[in-house]
Amino acid sequence: MSKRELIDYICDINKSAKPEFLAGFPEEDLKAYLDHLMELDLEELLVGG
């Protein structure tokens, strides 16, 4: 996944995230953050959020 795709996915989940801000982070950090967001999103679905 490209850095641009990571940023797009993050912004889809975290509506308050700004692409310009996220662009300053290394790709590895963005991947870790996206993984974290996806875990939270799944937990919310399982709990019935």
Residuewise pLDDT in 10s, the chain (49 residues): 999 999 999 999 999 999 999 999 999 999 999 999 999 878 777 877 5
What is the model's pLDDT at position 25?
98
d(CA 35, CA 32): 5
Query: How much is the pTM?
Result: 0.84
d(CA 41, CA 27): 21
Using DSSP, state whether 20 is helix, strand or coil: helix
d(CA 17, CA 13): 9
d(CA 39, CA 33): 10
CA 27 to chain centre: 12
What is the model's pLDDT at position 49?
58
What is the model's pLDDT at position 42?
80
